[in-house]
Amino acid sequence: MDTSENVDEPHSKPPEEPKDDRREFLQKAACVAIGGAATLVPAASAITVLVSPLFQESVGGLTVRLTSIDSMKVGGPPQLFKVVTERKDAWTKHTLSEVGSVFVQRTGPGKTPENFLVFNSTCPHLGCAVEFLDGAGSYSCPCHDSTFATTGEVLNQASPSPRGLDSLEVDIRGDELWVSYVNFKANVVEKLPIV
């Protein structure tokens, strides 16, 4: 987050329109993970996490701290973490906006990336938000009924999604779980990052 910008300074001209340039975005945005969307994951414990350091730039996305490893129950249901940016510019103070969310499941007791499954919660078909259905033990997209196993693979052959859920790269730093948050192109078989 760029903390050097003085928001109280008077401006003789209107501020520039926000640019889409990724570097500028990253300079003005802090990316945080907020866990526990209980409405989508009824059985998952509701947790709220606001963490620091908040993000680091990585190739193709943002590297985000999600939670502490010990807070994830081994073999528990996937938990949903929202990825939120905090923006600051000359006209607005700090505003939070959600840029996406990820499902995280701890599959083993080890503290290595292999013991975690992390998926972008965006449906690879046309971009709706996927839910985890505790009763079924699988992911489901409410838009066109694509279903996915906890491993991310397409479950139902009638699913319109051309690929399984998009896994994300996990990193372990001490006792913390980090993820490289990336969005991918919709409705294509290949998993193509949107840079």
- In the complex, which residues of this chain contact ligand FES (CB under 6 A)? 123, 125-128, 141, 143-144, 146, 160-161
Residue 99 or residue 143: which is nearer to ligand FES going by CB? 143
Residue 128 or residue 133: which is nearer to ligand FES going by CB? 128
Residue 86 or residue 100: which is nearer to ligand FES going by CB? 100
Residue 124 Cβ vs ligand FES, minimum distance, rounded to whole Å: 8
Residue 132 Cβ vs ligand FES, minimum distance, rounded to whole Å: 14
Residue 37 Cβ vs ligand FES, minimum distance, rounded to whole Å: 17
Concatenated DSSP letters for the chain? ------TTS--SSPPPPPP--HHHHHHHEEEEEEE--TTT-TTSPP-----SS-EEEETTEEEEEEEEGGGSPBTPPPEEEEEEEEE--SS---EEEEEEEEEEEE-SSSSSGGGEEEEESB-TTT-PBPEEETTTTEEE-TTT--EE-TTS-B--TT---SS---B--EEEETTEEEEEE--B-TT-SS--B--
Residue 85 or residue 122: which is nearer to ligand FES going by CB? 122
Residue 79 or residue 146: which is nearer to ligand FES going by CB? 146
Residue 83 Cβ vs ligand FES, minimum distance, rounded to whole Å: 19
Residue 156 Cβ vs ligand FES, minimum distance, rounded to whole Å: 10
